[in-house]
Amino acid sequence: MVQRSPSHFQTGTFYWAHHEKLCVIDETIAFMGGLDLSFGRWDTSQHVLIDDPEDGVEPIWPGKDYSNARITDFHTLNKPDEDMHERNKVPRMPWHDVGMQVVGQPARDLARHFVQRWNYLLRIKNHSRVMPFLLPPPEFKTGELEKLGLNGTCEMQICRSAGPWSMGTPDRIEHSIQNAYLKAIQMSEHFVYIENQFFITSTVVDDVPVENKIGDAIVHRIIRAHREGTPWKCCVIIPLLPGFPFPVDHNDASSLRIILECQNRTICRGPHSIFARLRKEGIDPDEYFGVFCLRNWAKLPGDVLTTEQVYIHGKVCIVDDRLAIIGSANINERSQRGDRDSELAAVIRDTDMIDGTMGGRPFKVGRFAHSLRVRLMREHIGVDVDAIDEEDLLKNNPVQHEHEQEEWDPESEQQHGREDIIEERHPHESRTFNLIHTGTDSLRQVLHGSGNVGSKNISIALKKVGIKHDTPDPARAADLTFQEERQTYTREGEKVPGFTSTTVPTLEEMTVAEHRPPRNQAYGSPIMEDPEKEAAEEAAHADAKLADGQEYGAPADAATSLATDDQPPETRTAGDKSDLDAEDQKAPRARSLLRKHLVTPGGQGQGPWTLPTPTPKIDPDGFEDPVCDEFWKNVWVAAAVHNTEIFRRVFHAIPDDLVTTWKQYIEFISHHERLNKPVPDDGPEPVGRVPSETGDEDVPEEHSPGHDPRAEELIGNAAPRKAKGPNGEDSEQPTSNGSQAPATGSQANIPAQSPSEKAQNEKAKRSKGEVPPFTKQEREEMEALLQEVCGHLVVYPTRFLEGEDIANNFLFNADRMMPLPIYD
């Protein structure tokens, strides 16, 4: 067994890890993928939240297997049978992962990989016992494979991320996993499906570039598809929140906020994001690129409603249902660069081709990649994949005979040049150099972060340790970085202040505005498709607002006031409303409709127990063509939007697109306190619990530390945000059309001190029970809505706290001191 040694001073490695997951048996059978050999990793396709059996019944997840990383990390592992959580109060966090068994020659390749590292560690480590060097096993002979029955239809290439510290190669870094991703995306014809624990690529975060080029490959492929007019889509599924303890506004949630910042910079915020780069080319990002997450719900003992995210831990990329990449590598710098975490991945192509469909046309697909992609997508929107697998086994046709299989020649398919799999290192880049480089790089980032917090003289600090600082005025450089990373592009390609997420309607808004799903693919009809129904909603219910009248979910530069979110997105870049297309004009109406279905204890609006979108009809056999609108928009996206609206209506689940400031955040999660109240005259149990998210104070005492008072302080601080001007003076942050931006509820760099008096008063009022509990009828309506949930799929929120982000107020002061390479 090889694990990361606790002693890495001599290699200069402090941050990186052996992240690969590998088990080889007899140099013939191997297991690899994303699954850790750890507690809490086994799960079913149903991803259930509770496991609190009656007395005498054994639990499915005993002891430490019943875990929730959003509540607390593993502890007291020397007592594996003891529970970490009260099962009747805390749901487990379901685990979605992908691993595989490998036999034959690829397993032997993995055995040789193990031997290479084993021998390297024997050379550099001091061991207390004598252990032998190993010889790498030879290639299998054809006759051996046939005799053992290990020949099949899948062809496989093992790829690695490996470098000097992990493999002992001082003059080379291998990043063949990144190369596999790049080539697969570049050569894709119609569809790329990605599941990953992180999505941090091709962007700039706080003036630090993220160098892996997977995001570049996606953007360039979308631009090419747009110019050629060919159907192409990329579907990315990541966790709603990183798997770290504490709510978003907690002092100790630095890791969570930093990763969210990096992912938002990759997807939708800043000029280097995928949204902004596509917008610059006049392309609607939602037509080609979609990001989704998973969430489930359950009933704790006593019929207490609860919800938790389904944590995505798999690392899968399926291209055109022909090629699959499965391994341990996340989409971030640590896994893709090669000189950081060590990783393994397998590129799999099935020579057994079957008839399929892409973009409405016949298209040959590989049996393995196609069946894997269909199973994953079915699982996410509620199809019983286990029952279908049983049926398929009974009627599965035998694979093609070996003489009928076409041999794959990858070299003949190369069309976009060749990447360098190995990066050469200069001889001077020794272990000592790695140690100095890692330390100085971390110091640069810590001092850069401290400069953003205060007025520390970075130049003097760097000079003292012998590091040259390129910028003569660090304060001015920080201001320029702040302004540069908070800009976007108009449809005409003009660079303007703001985020693309504020000008591009969200996927949910577009689904509501386009009246999807249509009547023939839904149980019911969209509200906006029926003028009478929409008029009735307008008359019967007011938009949900904060206590001071601000509109929930208004984009950061939506209007001159957050209380009047009625302007289409393009009015910030085009002065004449007559030039706006119909889609832009529908966006505010759709957002208003979403607010009418939101209940807000701290403000206005109670909302009907209905939804803006109907439940989509899901055909288990309708997953063959993932690119056509009939599936992508009317089933896949419609199911994600429908589920998102249900979880918002019942739980006020975090994160959410209707929460754009800390002030909105505090009032939004106050709904959880109302959930904690029991129904009058119906027993002591509360209506619901959401223990991993802010506002639920009825959680086990040992895991209920106070939240950061900074966010609560912002209830009383609705002043306009200020940013440094070009010459360092304070100025109101302008919107895209030059007008003053609305108040985001905070100012940049407000210190995390005690709550304001108004915040304390608001909290005291709520604690006195002034917010009435839910009635029995409302509790029944909640469960009825939850019964309409289609699987686990929800939309990734692109506007969550964007008002604070655009004011440089999303990250806390302590967050900026953390070295970014640990997280990106």
Residue 129: per-residue pLDDT? 86
Residue 424: per-residue pLDDT? 59
**E strands in 351-410:** 353-358, 361-366
Question: What interhelical angle do 176-186 and 214-228 show, nearest 10?
Answer: 10
168/185 Cα distance (integer angstroms): 31
Residue 674 sits at φ, ψ, to 5 deg, of -70, -35
313/323 Cα distance (integer angstroms): 20
Residue 391: per-residue pLDDT? 82
For the segment 601-648, what is each residue's pLDDT rounded down to a tens digit? 544 545 678 888 999 999 999 999 999 999 999 999 999 999 999 999
| Whether 313 is catalytic | yes
Residue 576: per-residue pLDDT? 45
Residue 725: per-residue pLDDT? 37
19, 64, 541, 597: the active-site residue: 19
| Whether 315 is catalytic | yes
| Whether 26 is catalytic | yes
Collapsed DSSP state (helix, strand, coil) of residue 106: helix
Residue 296: per-residue pLDDT? 98
The token duo for 89 is 């109060």
96, 313, 370, 515: the active-site residue: 313
Q: What topology does CATH give the domain 22-140+147-397?
A: Endonuclease; Chain A (3.30.870)
Average pLDDT per 10 consecutive residues for the chain, totaling 824 residues: 60 75 95 95 96 88 96 93 94 97 95 94 84 93 88 94 88 94 98 98 92 97 97 98 94 94 95 94 95 97 96 98 97 93 96 95 97 98 92 67 60 55 55 51 53 45 41 56 70 72 83 91 73 56 70 67 55 44 67 80 61 94 96 98 96 95 92 92 90 60 44 45 38 37 39 41 52 90 96 97 91 88 76
For the segment 128-142, what is each residue's pLDDT rounded down to a tens digit? 888 999 999 999 988
Residue 703: per-residue pLDDT? 40
Please tell me the number of Cα atoms within 13 Å of 618 on its side-chain side.
22
| Whether 545 is catalytic | no
43, 65, 320, 824: the active-site residue: 320
Which segments of the chain belong to CATH 3.30.870.10?
Answer: 22-140+147-397
233, 280, 315, 724: the active-site residue: 315
Which residues are CB-neighbours of 234 under 8 A, at least 6 positions away?
185, 191, 192, 193, 194, 218, 221, 222, 288, 289, 290
Residue 581: per-residue pLDDT? 54
| Whether 470 is catalytic | no
**What share of the chain in percent tops pLDDT 70?**
70
The whole model's pTM is what? Answer: 0.84
Residue 467: per-residue pLDDT? 40
Short-list 444, 305, 330, 345, CA closest to 106: 345
Which residues are CB-neighbours of 436 under 8 A, at least 6 positions away?
12
